[in-house]
Amino acid sequence: MQQQVEETIEVIRPALQADGGDIVLQEVDEATGIVKVTLVGACGTCPASDQTLKAGIERIMRDRVDGVTEVVAV
């Protein structure tokens, strides 16, 4: 699961970087399916970052990686 999450982040990353931000993977808990990430740069201070996280990143992760239940910002 860890490798699939890392590969999916590499797919997502260019879109975030185009807006001046980035994403850093902190932890993948395979038992619970929770992926912890940190949004940095413009994404770290953007008022829409919660929406980006849940409606964008989490949706893509759940579609592409079996077992992912939630993506949370830390």
Provide the pLDDT for residue 40: 95
Provide the pLDDT for residue 56: 93
Helices (H), the chain: 2-18, 42-45, 49-51, 59-64
Angle at 58 between CA 55 and CA 60, to 5 degrees: 90
Q: In which domain, by residue range, is 42 found?
A: 2-73
15-59 confidence digits (pLDDT tens) = 999 999 999 999 999 999 999 999 999 988 888 889 989 999 999
Provide the pLDDT for residue 64: 97
Report the CATH number that the domain containing residue 11 is assigned in CATH. 3.30.300.130
Nearest CA to 18 out of 56, 54, 58, 63 is that of 56
Q: Which residues pair with 28 in a beta bridge?
A: 35
The better pLDDT of the pair 71, 44 is held by 71
CA 10 to chain CA centroid, nearest Å: 10
**Domain count for the chain:** 1
Provide the pLDDT for residue 46: 85
